[in-house]
Amino acid sequence: MPTLNPLAPLHSAMAAGLGRLLGTDRFPEEQYREPLGDPGLFGPHSITWRVHADLSMLVGGVSALMLQTLHPLAMAGVADHSDYRRDPLRRLSRTSSFVSATTFAATPVAEAIISSVRAVHDRVTGVAPDGRPYAASDPDLLRWIHVAEVFSFLRAHQRYHPWPARGRDLDRYYAETAVVAERLGATQVPASRSEVRDYLSRVRPELHAGDQAREAMSFLLTPYGRDPLTLSMSLVITQAAADLLPGWARRLHDIRRPPLLDPAVIRPLTWSLLMAARIVAGPSPVLAQARARCATTGGSP
């Protein structure tokens, strides 16, 4: 007789909820099984694999979007060239697909997806509300988008991973992930904690929450979902993402803490949600496929 798993219904419901959040729009090139033996841009012993494999990335990814809205030119590109209001999960899903594939897929797959994104960036141009022209291929904007992402991913990892990386591994993470930004066309990419701090300090005078940023932030803070589980998960994730923002970013967004945003409430709640999700979801099939592909090199996966 088959063994009954009492967690099976919860596993199915949570997997469906995550699928609705992150499965809306994936890159067609995304796959993790081939070519055999190719470790990809980082490899299984990298700190990038360790950070990006954990569900704390859900919080970090949404927080990165919130942080990115503070750059007026980056925000103008999103407002003019994306349909986030009508299709709210498309950008989050595409970002998830890009980060996952450039982290865990083989090198030719990662390079193909990077090439696809560069081609899209070449078409994203316009004029911001303040009259300045923008281009998504601008190395300065690419640097901002990258730093906002990896900074947020690492903050989420440090806050919500059961065994977070520490010390020099944090610098190693920034050094490793810089390669993706550089292949996209970014220049002078910060590659350590001190370089990221210096960069954020330099760029801060350029940041503010204009009308487009306020509209996007309000949208990001609105829970998504029709069924209770997806709605509850997205509520916790969005609140935790706002709480994850550095103090200066919360002030620019004029975020005043309602009771639910109090760290004494939202952080334990998020910790519990992510721990439950890790237990229920089990091992990541993406990670399993990537490890199996790399194992053919003769080293340990």
Q: Which pLDDT score, from 0 to 100, does residue 15 have?
A: 52
Determine what percent of the chain is predicted with pLDDT higher than 90.
Answer: 70
**What are the backbone angles phi and psi of residue 96, rounded to the nearest 5°?**
-60, -45
Question: What value does the mean pLDDT of the chain take?
Answer: 88
- Separation of alpha carbons 190 and 187, rounded Å: 9
- Separation of alpha carbons 216 and 246, rounded Å: 18
pTM score, two decimals? 0.89
* pLDDT digits 0-9 by tens, 82-93: 876 666 666 677
Determine which of 6-15, 116-125, 182-191, 207-216 has the lowest per-residue pLDDT on average: 6-15
Which among 99, 89, 97, 100 is positioned nearest to 238, based on CA atoms?
Answer: 89
Partners of residue 125 on adjacent β-strands: 135
pLDDT band at 231; cut points 50, 70, 90: confident
* pLDDT digits 0-9 by tens, 29-62: 999 999 999 999 999 999 999 999 999 999 999 9
Greatest mean pLDDT among 26-40, 170-184, 270-284, 286-300: 170-184
User: Where are the chain's structural domains?
Assistant: 12-295
Residue 300 has pLDDT above 60, yes or no: no
Q: Which pLDDT score, from 0 to 100, does residue 92 have?
A: 74
**What are the backbone angles phi and psi of residue 126, rounded to the nearest 5°?**
170, -165
- Separation of alpha carbons 106 and 93, rounded Å: 20
**What are the backbone angles phi and psi of residue 89, rounded to the nearest 5°?**
-100, -5
pLDDT band at 70; cut points 50, 70, 90: very high
- Separation of alpha carbons 41 and 114, rounded Å: 12
* 301 DSSP assignment: -
pLDDT band at 227; cut points 50, 70, 90: confident
* Of 104 and 22, the one with more pLDDT: 104
Determine what percent of the chain is predicted with pLDDT higher than 70.
Answer: 86
Structure tokens at 253: 């967004």
pLDDT band at 260; cut points 50, 70, 90: low
Residue 175 has pLDDT above 90, yes or no: yes
Burial degree of 23 (CB within 10 A; 0-12, 13-18, 19+):
middle
* pLDDT digits 0-9 by tens, 105-139: 999 999 999 999 999 999 999 999 999 999 999 99
Q: Are 193 and 174 in contact (CB under 8 A)?
A: yes
* Of 241 and 3, the one with more pLDDT: 241
Q: Residue 135: enclosing H or E segment and its boundaries?
A: strand 133-135
pLDDT band at 229; cut points 50, 70, 90: confident
Structure tokens at 100: 């996952």
- Separation of alpha carbons 74 and 72, rounded Å: 6
